[in-house]
Chains A and B, each alone.
Chain A
Amino acid sequence: MVQLTDTQLDRYSRHIILQEVGPEGQDKLMNARILVVGAGGLGAPIGLYLAAAGVGSIGIVDADVVEISNLQRQVIHFSSDIQRPKVDSAAEKMRAINPDVEVTTYKTYLNASNIKKIISGYDFVLDGTDNFATKFLINDACVMSGIPFSHGGILRFDGQTMTVLPGRSACYRCSFRQPPPPDAVPSCSQAGVLGAIAGMLGTIQAAEALKFITGVGTLLTDTLLSFDAKTMHFRRVNLKKRSDCPLCGDNPTLHELEEGERATCDLSM
């Protein structure tokens, strides 16, 4: 039997009156543990919406400090936060929105030796990182640990996201075998991004996390959703879990996490 205080009932009333969510769904959210990797452009809306939704325990990982160039899109950080660790700045806003949520900060970069420990115990992981090495690392660690996650990436006017249920749906490596060579990745001077698309993509990822926890609807599994904000065209590409995937296929060849080289680009999404 779900117990909510009058204040919680009021705070979450717009969830509770949704037939598909209701008191039970809100209770699931309040007992959920979700990890957000990156407190940047994607992590900002993700962190804010997960906290607002009352997700019981939220972890946030980022080693950077807030810079003035972040503020054009990383809406969880304010001008007064410049030079503060991003995780501290983000956690403060999340707690201010909703004092009920427990926020755990990890002021570090994820790497092959710390990622499994950090993600263990979380129900869902959101990738809001800015480099392919970490995206592959998150994919590999989550698949090996059986933790569902949302992949997300933005650049210029484009965004893409997919949701992975390890062992059940296509993983990132099923479609993208390995990180692209460094010279194929735009250099910093080329890698602009329209600020608002961080919000567009991050909120899609946050919605996927809330849907996963509450069991509502259909996830973006086996589907790469991408958009071009210049035309506002959205496209869905069907993906298949590959039996020859080196990670989640029938005869996997990847058994250890690879220590990829983090891209040098300082886009700090």
Chain B
Amino acid sequence: MKADKFEDLSGVRCPLNYAKTRMHLASMESGQTLEIILDDGPPVRNVPGSVQQEGHTILCQEKHGNQWKVVIRKA
């Protein structure tokens, strides 16, 4: 499944990675999907939870090496 939008946020620290995620979500339609790549550690511990708190859905969260692929469906 290919997401509607994609951004590689590896190397982008908190909370800028979340700010960039919010910018993408703000520009998308409800139901569209966003795939982001997050670093292991604080980014993956924080961003998906914050996204969920705003009502969006995490469709998938998988580890690839030191990075995580996270797919979000906009509420």
Check A10 for interface membership: any CB of B closer than 8 A. yes
CB pair A22 B22 closer than 8 Å: yes
Check B1 for interface membership: any CB of A closer than 8 A. no
Of the residues B20, B27, B53, contact of A9 by C-beta under 8 Å: B20
CB pair A17 B23 closer than 8 Å: no
CB pair A23 B50 closer than 8 Å: no
Check A13 for interface membership: any CB of B closer than 8 A. yes
CB pair B19 A16 closer than 8 Å: yes
State the CA gap A238–B47 with chains docked (Å). 41
Contact pattern, B 48-63, Cβ under 8 Å of A = 1, otherwise 0: 0010011000000000
State the CA gap A17–B53 with chains docked (Å). 12
Interchain nearest-CB distance for A71 vs B (Å): 35
Residues of B within 8 A of A184 (CB): none
Check A232 for interface membership: any CB of B closer than 8 A. no
CB pair B16 A9 closer than 8 Å: yes
CB pair B50 A17 closer than 8 Å: yes
Residues of B within 8 A of A188 (CB): none
Of the residues B20, B23, B54, contact of A19 by C-beta under 8 Å: B54
CB pair A13 B19 closer than 8 Å: yes
Check B68 for interface membership: any CB of A closer than 8 A. no
Residues of A within 8 A of B23 (CB): 2, 4, 9, 16, 23
State the CA gap A14–B18 with chains docked (Å). 10
Interchain nearest-CB distance for B48 vs A (Å): 14
The A interface, classified by DSSP as helix, strand, loop or mixed, is: helix
Check B15 for interface membership: any CB of A closer than 8 A. yes
State the CA gap A269–B20 with chains docked (Å). 41
Check A237 for interface membership: any CB of B closer than 8 A. no
Within 8 A of A (CB), among B27-47: 27
State the CA gap A14–B50 with chains docked (Å). 13
Residues of B within 8 A of A16 (CB): 19, 22-23
CB pair B26 A17 closer than 8 Å: no
Check A24 for interface membership: any CB of B closer than 8 A. yes
State the CA gap A1–B23 with chains docked (Å). 10
CB pair A14 B15 closer than 8 Å: yes
Residues of B within 8 A of A14 (CB): 15
Residues of A within 8 A of B54 (CB): 19
Determine which residue in B19, B22, B53, B54 has the highest number of CB atoms from chain A within 10 A of its CB, and name it: B19
State the CA gap A16–B18 with chains docked (Å). 9
Residues of B within 8 A of A4 (CB): 23
Question: Quick one: closest A residue to B26, CB to CB?
Answer: A23
Interchain nearest-CB distance for A8 vs B (Å): 10
State the CA gap A19–B75 with chains docked (Å). 14
What would 19 more interface pairs be, CB under 8 Å, given A9-B16, A17-B22, A23-B22? A1-B27, A2-B26, A4-B23, A10-B16, A10-B19, A12-B19, A13-B18, A13-B19, A16-B19, A16-B22, A16-B23, A17-B15, A17-B19, A17-B50, A19-B54, A22-B22, A22-B26, A23-B26, A24-B26
Nearest first, the 7 closest Cβ-Cβ pairs linking A and B are A13-B19, A16-B19, A23-B26, A17-B15, A13-B16, A17-B18, A17-B19
